[in-house]
Structure 1
Amino acid sequence: MVGMNVEVNFVDCCLKVQFQQEYSNSSSDNIETIYKFVIPKTTTIGDFYAEVGGRKVHGVVQEKGEAQDTYDDALSSGLTSYIASKEEDVSFNSYSISIGNLAPGQKSKVYISFMSVALNKDGRYIFYLPPELLPAKIPVSGCCNIEMTEEVEDVYSTVGVVNPIKNLVEWKLIYSSQPIVIVVTTKKFFQPKAILEYDENTKSKALMITATPVWKDLNTDLIESQVEVIFVVDRSGSMRGSRISQTKQALNILLHALPPLSRFNIIGFGSSQDWLFPESKQFCEENIHIAHEKIQDTNADLGGTDLVSPLRRIFSKPIDIDYPRIILVLTDGSVNDRNGTINEVRRNKEQCRLYSLGISSAVDKTLVNGICEAGRGEAAFVINDSEIEGTVMSLFEKAFQPCTRNIQIMWPENTIQYAPKKIPPIFKGDRLITFGLIEGEIGEYVNIKALDPMGQELDWSVPVEKGNGFLRNKLAAFEIIKQLEADNENNEQTDTKMKIIALAKKYQLVSKYTSFVAVDDQVDTATNTSLKTIKVEVVKPLCNDDFSEDETETRARGMIKKKKKAPKKYDKRKKEKKQEDISEGFQRSEPKQKMVELEKSEKKEEVFERKEKEKERKNSSGAEERKVNLEGKNSNEQKSTLVKAQKFDGCWDIETMCGFLSISLEEIKKHIPEVSEGLWATALAIAFLELYLSESANTWQMVAKKGRAYMIKLLIKEKSITPNVSTQECADLIEKAKAFLKLTKSN
């Protein structure tokens, strides 16, 4: 590759990104160039053609096997040919582009167009192009055309110049050490839109519906979050001592801060992985007990710091859209493959929101900030180990944002297909985007129904605007293909496969079963020389230590050359051999498990850990027996005991509080107001936290909030009162509990 140009087209929230890559064969041999890259799973190839000697050679989508045969036939006939395919490895959205029989001295330009929906966040449309998708030593020029049906308020770009009317960004000859980021802010971003687009080429219509929910007057105590939370905890050797001890204490509290309807898992990582459950489990008393036992036995004993492998395994698990996925990463060092880890999160950003706590001054801040930016979350950092607990709780609270759920689109009757079939919850600042293929005319409005974070019904009537073009049609077909591929993932149904192929061929899209292929039949490049294959991998979906030392050095230069024997007119190569040749050197392998033994010089830290472990066992057993004497306990032990005693739904029971406070059940019952025992016990627990443990409030606030939510809902049920009245009665009950605690202490 000797040159590259990038052309970006913003069409509302839709993106078309065209790469123009120039190849030149300066050798004395015919060459085959294989260009491999990984792009987000929300993206596909929607156009592909080449320019050779001033002629355009247009690509056409064929069934994958047919396209490979077309390409191989062209090579064996001595013709220059091109193919763009999606790789078989489902762990990555990996593609390869091959240019075969490029003759000595010949130049060729290849045009690849990617289609996707732009990232939408807080009133902004965002285009992000990572440097890994650009050639390392070749300057890149390009432009971004902005076509919005909404009025553009501002355009920000990390490269080039924005023109005065804010519809064009241009840049020239930049190098790819930094990402290219373009942010478009419009004045009516939060207004729901429905655009019906007619595509002249396919004679089809697509309806794109977008909306960004806005809520007012939310009572956060009444919001019920239903999420999947995965804690990913660094257990490398550097986490020994106070770091792992503080992290374990934070995990015990985090568990009880989880919403009652949650699913959860805990994963330790180092050179190897340690999963609490093979799959995330429902939050309940039994699973809390299992998790506490696991945390108690957790140590910093997993060796190095390989984060990309557990993340890759998480992303391979299917998501349940009724349980939005939240990942919380806690780490104190640098990982084996920083860029690979960040790219892994970015490719799967639609699957989750990722938050991370960086521990110590030695932590890789670029990594922590990078995975959070890619995962649409936030990062936090602590220098002192004593701050871990409070900081991670504050970060965790940010992860539980309200969302709009149970979203239903009232699609017109003449909608042929639409996607997604089931719409995931939409968080604050995010945007609903859905597509349907339409046959004929539709009405003037489309209705959207949903529930706000408090369960109140929402109903939008969105006017339909008319538009022309092709991008919304292609994206509609792509979203439907993704839906069909997901439905067909475990059972290869022939009918579904044929539907995917038919859609991909009609709308000219690369898919699991289709490829673009182009053949220049005007130039015969047959020679007596052998064919050299040059493989260029732009984004390596592997960790650095997956390669041998020599192989890593070769790949760092960006290409591998391999010589093959060939007759004057190439024999048709078998499909199996071709695929083997193309993939050679790019096979994915799991990182080798490297267990690091603790050295003898670390015995002092081991003794410290054993003492901490014994201390936690005593706390745990005391909580289970519910016979707790507070005398002689420090505030940290009191907090740990009280938090562990909270039930999964947010309440405390009266017997637990009797044991914790060393007060008889008879004495407590004498002072119960006209409420149930569970309400009074929960009020006592929250009152104790606020009265006697206020200095560590940042570590237990979410636990107390969960207890208040339990009380408010139960008061509404028991007394048939409004949420506002219930909230006030909850506060009054906690004040009565404080008065009781003060009285018992004075006596």
Structure 2
Amino acid sequence: MMDYCGLITSQKEAVPLKSIEVEVEVRDHVATVVSTLNYENKEDKPIEAVFVFPLPGDAAVCHFSAKIGQKEIVAEVKEKQKAREEYDDALSSGQQAFLLEESEQSPDIFSLSVGSLPPGESASIRLEYVTELAVQADEGLRFCLPAVLNPRYQPQGSEAASVQVTSVPASLVPYNLSFSVRVSSPRPVSKVESSCSLDPLQYLNTEQTQATVKLAAGHKFDRDVELLIYYKDAHQPTAVVEAGQASAKPGTLMGDPVVMLSLYPEFPQAVMSSVAPCGEFVLLLDRSGSMSGACMESAKDTLLLLLKSLPMGCYFNIYSFGSSHEHIFPKSVEYSQETMEEALKKVGEMTANLGGTEILRPLKDIYSQPCIPNQPRQLFVFTDGEVGNTKEVINLVKRNSGSHRCFSFGIGEGASSALINGLAKEGGGHAQFITGTDRMQPKVMQSLRFALQPAVADISVKWDVPKGVAVTVLSPPITALFQGQRSLIYAQLTVKSHLISRIFRAAEGCVTVKYSLAGHPSKSQLNFSLKPAEDTGLTVHRLAARTLIRSLEMEETRRTRQQNEGVKKKVVEHSVQSGVSSVFTAFIAVNKGTGKAIQGPLVRRNVPTGLRECALFDDNMSYYNSADDCEDIHGFSYGECEEAYDGITVIRPAQPPRDPFLQLVSLQKASGCWERDPALAAALGKTSEEVENTKPSGVNQEVWATFLALIWLHGSKMEAQDEWELLAMKAASWLRAQNAPYATECVEAGNALLGFNVQKDALGL
């Protein structure tokens, strides 16, 4: 059984991990993160401390070192088995050693072993990684420092055992966190927001292109540290060329210059407006126990908005899953008033009562269904991401990527970034994260707008560079493009040595992305200078290496055993050369200055990580006031209960009554119209008599109700327009189809009744 407080001594003294210091440097859309973990052994015997912690799934871990007293030991990247053997040999011979390795099942989980820390000794571990920042629905760039690692559900029969994690309630994590960020960009920094408490933003120059911000003291480890960074005139196409490493051999990835291209395609409006929306929309909802409470209610409200916003003529189905899975219809059905009502009734009855998080089986079930001709399949996955077989799931989506696009949503603190980003990347879709006080609805509706865009086909990339320059693209082929969303391309530029200075001093290159959009040929083009940027370090090279390594790792899962050995060899070679972690390598550092034999065996201590806190009830509805109650009653630790005790249900505070907006949305018909109904009048804040008495003479009841609903949305909910824009467009389309001659009178009467001044043109009529 795990100790309740994780890493403690027999005398209940403090754990070795004392504090974590994190410094982040953000340059445009790339972040370099340096974390320092400070350990201290207060026991009277040498210990081995093991700390399992999360990192962003696409991070390139590129530096690992340890400082013992005044001596610093820098780790090397080696093949994983060799690194483990070296670590074990060092410990057995009385030397201090440090091992950092990536989980084989999920690339966002790392394990750090601090070996042979003598009594009274302190050690500082320095970890550095670089990562790209994702573009959000409101054009902010998202940086996330995962501070919560939830237990990952491991389905029966999966490929490998889950990483073992010692979890304690967030308020009992026995170490503190300091966190500071420096932001710089060619464009002014507008603001930095966070779900955590921040000290005020400090600008470092009058142009406001550089700024710093810090996390307020007292972070409780009950949530990830998420920052949203906003620039003025953000997201312009850019190219950064980075010079190679001087000590590396020319012709290798680290020895040659590397270019990072950020492309933001803009689709022709004439083509976009001419495409009739259609598709098969398959919604897959996580109903495992960890989704209960506010997460589940928010997901159900989101499904309501999604279903109301679907276009007439499309097809849809809703699956839900836990340890088992269910579907509302045996196969996808045509969207109509009847099928929409049946689906909403079933959604209203859903609870988080299906046990663990077994996502593989429902995905296989969905993929076994034949696609509907001329109805492109769009898969929406809603989950808190607590799975242990991440790579199996992503590989399944990859194998079926030719038949659908996958849009993924990570719900709550601690959702696996590797899973959420991997589903979208391999499924040619888009990923979103909903944390803290975020509303799920605007992010999901942005993804629905993406899903309604026609799939881009025949994507090709053409390079135009000076003679003597060879381009090797390191990124996997682009499989998805969305209006205004970033696409990243990394490429190695190889030049004959005698041409380098001439070419890279003044030459330019050009990249052209050609594609077909709804049968119309289109292209995006970017001209860029080949002159290397200054002061970039090796950030671009490391991100490029990480991209290449990830592509090879995905390739390894789809090949024969003999072929796999070749792929593994390539991964190890690139990982060692670039100093970037991979699933087949590990960082190893040995302090060879200590030669004293260890007296007695090493004591292994697992350093705890934060777990979401919540109230707990058992099957008999016995309330646990605290984690102590939980352990006293069942003999499990608080963290173990969520994993091992089947009867536990997570209870969160009761939800407030449904707001008028959602009530109004729930009354809309599949066709887009509203009917005059007492519930509609109540949602508008009026009586049925007031609604009836102000109706212009001769106006149809449905037309009048639809005008009122649209006026109310435009008059009182403009701040949430992203959420209702699609269903309002459907309503306006319905009104136009009625050829109603009283539009002006209805708008005037509606404004008078509701107290607004909405213009008719604003309604899209």
TM-score w.r.t. structure 2 length?
0.60
Using a 3 Å threshold, how does the CA distance of structure 1 residues 397 and 25 change in structure 2: closer, same or farther?
closer
- Aligned partners of 1:238 and 1:98: how far apart in 2? 34
Q: Provide the rounded CA distance (Å) in 2 between the counterparts of 1:367 and 1:182.
A: 11
Cα distance in 2 for partners of 1:520, 1:308 equals 42
Pick from 198, 218, 226 the counterpart of residue 175 of structure 1: 218
Please give the per-residue CA displacement for 1:131-158, whole angstroms capped at 9, x wherever unaligned: 4379944343343333435555656675
123-132 vs 190-199, greater mean Cα deviation? 123-132
Task: Choose the corresponding residue for 1:212, options 264, 286, 302.
Answer: 264
Q: Does 1:10 align with 2:58?
A: no
Q: Distance between the aligned counterparts of 2:581 and 2:115, measured in 1? A: 19
- 1:485 match: 553
Shift in CA distance, 427/234, structure 1 to aligned 2, threshold 3 Å: farther
Is 1:58 matched with 2:74?
yes
Match of residue 242 from structure 2: 197
Equivalent residue, structure 2, for 1:463: 528
What are the superposed Cα offsets for residues 441-481 of structure 1, whole Å, 9 maximum, x if unpaired?
Answer: 68532223345689562332322352252000000010111
CA contact (8 A) 1:153 1:185 kept: yes
**1:300 paired to 2:349:** yes
SS in 2 for 1:204: coil
Instruction: Give the whole-Å Cα distance in 2 for the aligned partners of 1:26 and 1:368.
Output: 36
Is it true that 1:100 corresponds to 2:152 in the alignment? no
Q: In the aligned structure 1, how far is the partner of 2:287 from the partner of 2:52? A: 32
Larger fraction in helix: 1
Q: Tell me which amino acid in the other structure corresponds to 2:71.
A: R
Point out the more displaced range, 126-135 or 7-16: 126-135
Q: 1:515 aligns with which of 570, 573, 586?
A: 586
1:318 aligns with 2:397: yes
- Asked if the contact 1:40/1:348 (under 8 Å) is kept, the reply is no
Q: Show structure 1 runs of 5+ residues with no match.
A: 330-336, 357-365, 379-393, 558-584, 597-635, 644-686, 710-729, 739-747
Distance verdict in 2 for CA 1:470–1:277, change over 3 Å:
farther
* Equivalent residue for 1:164, pick from 171, 196, 204: 204
Alignment root-mean-square deviation, CA:
5.5
Q: Which of 691-700 and 34-43 deviates more?
A: 691-700
Query: Kindly tell me: are residues 70 and 216 of structure 1, through their superposed partners in 2, closer, same or farther at Cα, counting changes over 3 Å?
Result: same
What is the identity percentage for the equivalent residue pairs of Structure 1 and Structure 2? Answer: 17
SS in 1 for 2:148: helix
2:80–2:585 Cα contact (<8 Å) kept: yes
Deviation of 1:164 after TM superposition, in Å, equals: 2.8
Question: 1:607-662 CA distances to partner (integer Å, 9 max, x unpaired)?
Answer: xxxxxxxxxxxxxxxxxxxxxxxxxxxxx99957999xxxxxxxxxxxxxxxxxxx
1:708-747 alignment to 2 at 5 Å?
735=739
The aligned amino acid for 1:60 is E
What are the within-5 Å matches in structure 2 for residues 44-83 of structure 1? 44-83=60-99
Q: Cα 1:737–1:271, aligned 2, differ >3 Å: closer, same or farther? A: farther
Alignment of 1:218-237 (within 5 A): 220=273, 222=275, 224=277, 229-232=282-285
Distance in 1 of aligned mates of 2:446 and 2:482: 20
Q: How does 1:353-392 map to 2 (within 5 A)?
A: 369-370=437-438, 372=440, 377=443
Alignment correspondent of 2:572? 501
- CA apart distance, 1:199: 2.8
**1:300-341: per-residue Cα shift (whole Å, max 9, x none)?**
376737696652479655253884434689xxxxxxx96445
User: What letter matches 1:318 in structure 2?
Assistant: V
| Alignment equivalent of 2:311, drawn from 235, 252, 257 | 257
| Aligned residue identity for 1:304 | N
* Residues 371 and 414 of structure 1, relative CA distance in 2, 3 Å threshold: farther
Structure 1 CA distance, aligned partners of 2:98 and 2:265? 45
Which amino acid in structure 2 is aligned with residue 159 of structure 1? L
- 1:143 matched to which residue of 2? 180
Q: Per-residue CA shift, 1:333-381, capped at 9, x if unaligned?
A: xxxx96445979877685566799xxxxxxxxx97844839xx815xxx
Superimposed CA distance per residue, residues 17-50 of structure 1 (whole angstroms, 9 cap, x where no aligned partner): 0101111111111010111012232223211111
Over 3 Å counting, the alpha-carbon distance change for 1:128 and 1:77 in structure 2 is same
* SS, match of residue 533 in structure 1: strand
Query: 1:446 aligned to 496, 501, 511, which one?
Result: 511
Distance 1:453 1:42, change over 3 A: farther
Kindly report which structure 2 residues correspond to 1:389-408, keeping only aligned pairs within 5 A, or say none. Answer: 402=453, 405-406=456-457, 407-408=459-460
1:609 paired residue number = none
Q: Paired residue for 2:472, among 402, 416, 426?
A: 416
Amino acid at match of 1:176: H
Conserved? CA contact 2:57–2:108, under 8 Å: yes
CA distance in 1, matches of 2:731, 2:230: 40
- The question of whether the paired residues in 1 share the 8 Å contact of 2:277 and 2:311 is answered with no
SS in structure 1 at match of 2:478: coil
Rg (Cα) greater in structure: 1
TM-score by length of 1: 0.61
Question: What SS class does the counterpart of residue 482 from structure 1 fall into?
Answer: helix
Partner SS, residue 34 of structure 1: strand
Contact residue 308 and residue 340 of structure 1 kept, 8 A: no
Q: Distance in 2 between matches of 1:7 and 1:479?
A: 24
Distance 1:284 1:480, change over 3 A: farther
| Distance (whole Å) between structure 1 residues aligned to residue 215 and residue 435 of structure 2 | 29
Inter-partner Cα distance in structure 1 for 2:179 and 2:724: 51
Name the CA distance, whole Å, in 2 between partners of 1:732 and 1:258: 15
CA distance in 2, matches of 1:299, 1:259: 24
Query: One-letter code of the match for 1:448?
Result: V
Shift of 1:524: 2.5
Do the aligned partners of residues 272 and 6 (structure 1) sit closer, same or farther apart at CA in structure 2, a change above 3 Å counting?
same
Aligned-residue offset at 1:129: 2.4
Q: Deviations over 1:163-217 (max 9, x none)?
A: 4325352548822236545454444533211111113253232110002334675
Say if 1:235 and 1:300, in contact at 8 Å, map to a contact too. Answer: no
Answer with 55-64 or 185-194: which moved more.
185-194
Contact 1:139 1:173 (8 Å CA) reproduced: no
Distance 1:162 1:703 in 2: 41
Rate the CA distance shift 1:151–1:171 in 2: closer, same or farther, 3 A.
closer
Mean Cα deviation higher: 34-43 or 405-414:
405-414
1:444–1:16: structure 2 CA closer, same or farther, 3 Å change rule? same
Asked if residue 40 in structure 1 is aligned to residue 92 in structure 2, the reply is no
Residue segments in structure 2 that go unaligned for 5+ positions in a row = 1-16, 150-169, 248-253, 360-382, 496-502, 632-637, 650-665, 674-698, 711-722, 743-765
Counterparts of 1:248 and 1:19 in 2: how far apart (Å)? Answer: 37
SS of 1:146 mapped into structure 2: strand
Change (3 A) 1:68 1:249: closer
Structure 2 residue identity aligned to 1:29: K
Q: 1:74 deviation in Å? A: 0.6
Q: 2 CA distance for matches of 1:305 and 1:339?
A: 20
CA distance in 2 between counterparts of 1:425 and 1:397 reads 14
**What is the aligned partner in structure 2 of residue 436 from structure 1?**
491
Distance 2:575 2:90 in 1: 23
Within the alignment, does 1:425 sit opposite 2:481 as a pair? yes
1:419 maps to a residue whose letter is S
Residue identity matched to 2:522: E
